[in-house]
Amino acid sequence: MKRLAESDLNGIGTILTKCEDPDFMMQNTESKVLKKTETQSSAIEKLKNYRNDFAHFNPKGLTIVTDTEEWMIDEVVSVIKFLALESNNVTYYNVDDKEKVKKIIGQFTK
């Protein structure tokens, strides 16, 4: 099996830019383009920073998501929910698969 080089992978910024591009997202007549709110963009940036600190082990003190930052998770999950369930660009060949995705996303939402 061919291993992808790190340079072959799209970063989250590139992926989200494509998700906001009608030329990329309008796969069919039912497709919808991602339109992030300012709050969603802020939450994604903050989560990217947390991820980078952990992935590259940049010790700056304890970086744990607290109750006051729970909004961030809610906003990011709403973007994921849109892309996975509402954009009409993910084809679920098995109804059970879509239900599993709904259930997993539901575990993050209130």
Tell me the per-residue pLDDT of 54-78, one tens digit each, with 9 for 90 and over.
777 766 665 566 667 788 999 999 9
Residue 80, token pair as written in the block: 């994921």
- Which residue's structure tokens are 């997993």? 104
Residue 67 contacts residue 98 (beta carbons within 8 Å): no
Please work out, in degrees rounded to the nearest 5, the angle formed at the alpha carbon of residue 10 by the alpha carbons of 93 and 62: 105
- pTM given for the model: 0.81
* Nearest alpha carbon to residue 22 among 91, 86, 90, 87: 87
Helical spans, DSSP H, in the chain: 12-19, 22-25, 38-55, 70-81, 95-106
Sign of the Cα pseudo-torsion (38, 41, 45, 51, in order): positive
Tell me the per-residue pLDDT of 5-55, one tens digit each, with 9 for 90 and over.
666 788 889 999 999 999 999 999 999 999 999 999 999 999 888 888 777
Residue 79 contacts residue 100 (beta carbons within 8 Å): no
Nearest-angstrom CA–CA distance, 45 and 3: 28
